Amino acid sequence: MMEAPPEFEAETRRIRVRVRAVYLDDQSDPDESRFVWAYRVAIENHGGETVQLLRRTWHITDATGRTQRVHGEGVVGEQPILEPGEAFEYTSGTPLEQPSGFMVGTYHMVATASGEAFDVAIPAFSLDSPYGDMRRH
């Protein structure tokens, strides 16, 4: 039985973000420097106010230290509204040219009643593949 990948968690203003990443061997091609991961995110509203996720910013860093910044509207084409006690989950993915790296980010949200904008931390999580110890010459 395969061991479940580690889960990473952060909480900001009673909004909890949990992330789990898994390496996709069937979509990766190490000989072509293509390594692909899927990541599953759960956003849980443990607070007392209704919030909406408007935008997201990711910083994706590969094993060489090269960082890409990805900014855009919503997540997976949605801008979910979370009432107190509600959760939203989605799966997305990212390719890298290196066998490992990590991602960290921010969800840009708004409290729907007051219109107050605030940021929620997405925890840093590692992107590990079986090829992580490869040495390039």
- pLDDT tens string 41-71: 999 999 999 999 999 999 999 999 999 999 9
Q: Which residues of the chain have pLDDT under 70?
A: 1-2, 133-137
Whole-number pLDDT of residue 48: 97
SS3 30: helix
> What letter would DSSP give residue 41?
E
Q: How many domains does the chain have?
A: 1
> Is the CB of residue 36 less than 8 Å from the CB of residue 27?
yes
Q: Which residue has the tokens 């106010």?
A: 49
Whole-number pLDDT of residue 9: 98
Could you list the beta-strand ranges (E) of the chain: 7-12, 15-23, 35-45, 51-62, 67-73, 81-82, 87-96, 100-111, 117-128
The residue segments making up the domain with residue 80 are 7-126
Domain presence at residue 122: yes
Domain presence at residue 90: yes
The DSSP bridge pattern shows strands 87-96 and 15-23 to be: unpaired
Q: What is the CATH number of the domain that holds 71?
A: 2.60.40.1470
Domain presence at residue 67: yes
Q: What is the pTM of this model?
A: 0.92
